[in-house]
Amino acid sequence: MAKTPTKSTAAKTTRPAKASARSAKPTDTAAATPADAPLAGAIRDSAQQIWQAGLGAFNRAQAEGGKAFDALVKEGVTLQRESQTAAEEKIAAARSKMSNLASELSAKAGGQWDRLENIFEDRVAKALHKLGVPLASDLQALVARIDALEQRLPQPPAAGSVAVKPKPKPAARRAVKPRVS
């Protein structure tokens, strides 16, 4: 058989216990034993030391905060320089690679343009040959022949002698037929 809780026991079980360390006093003096007193004192001393250590750390942080800040700034400057140097090296390497690639592409394109130019010149030469237009080499050969023929001609008389020039013949006149009306 289960006991039904009475009004006084039900009230005791439903009350929340106080969690604050300052207000935690034993309500029942008979429950605190002399063996618990040294443990409570040790806990109190430990809590006091933790509090004092926290205050000491806070004080040190305030006193050395400027020094720590300056040290962090110096470290940041050093890291920035190192990262900037590394970035500049990467940029220089990329620039060099792009320059080499551009040179290769330029050389390939130049070769293609030379090939295209030769094809164009050959086709133009063939078209001019079909039309009967002499080539530059043909004209040079003719000039050389003319020079050779001029060499064979007799030299004009010296400047001191008078050369008689033949009189040019008058141009023939055209006969005009009268109109018959």
Instruction: Confirm whether 123 is domain-assigned.
Output: yes
- Length of the chain counted residue by residue: 181
The distance from CA 85 to its chain's CA centroid, rounded to whole angstroms, is 16
The pTM (predicted TM-score) of the whole model is 0.32
| Residue 136 is assigned to a structural domain of this protein | yes
In the block, residue with structure tokens 């064979």 = 152
Q: How far apart are CA 180 and CA 23, in angstroms?
A: 157
Domain that holds residue 110: 42-152
Is residue 26 one of the residues assigned to a domain?
A: no
Whether 121 is covered by a domain: the verdict is yes
> Looking at residue 16, what is its pLDDT?
47
* Any domain includes 31: no
- Taking only the tens of pLDDT, the chain with its 181 residues reads 445 545 544 444 444 444 444 444 555 544 556 677 888 888 999 999 998 998 888 888 777 777 877 888 899 999 999 999 999 999 999 999 999 999 998 888 888 888 899 999 899 988 988 988 888 888 899 999 999 998 988 877 666 665 566 676 766 666 666 666 5
- Dist. CA 42–CA 35, nearest whole Å: 12
The number of folded domains in the chain is 1
Does residue 84 lie in a domain region? yes
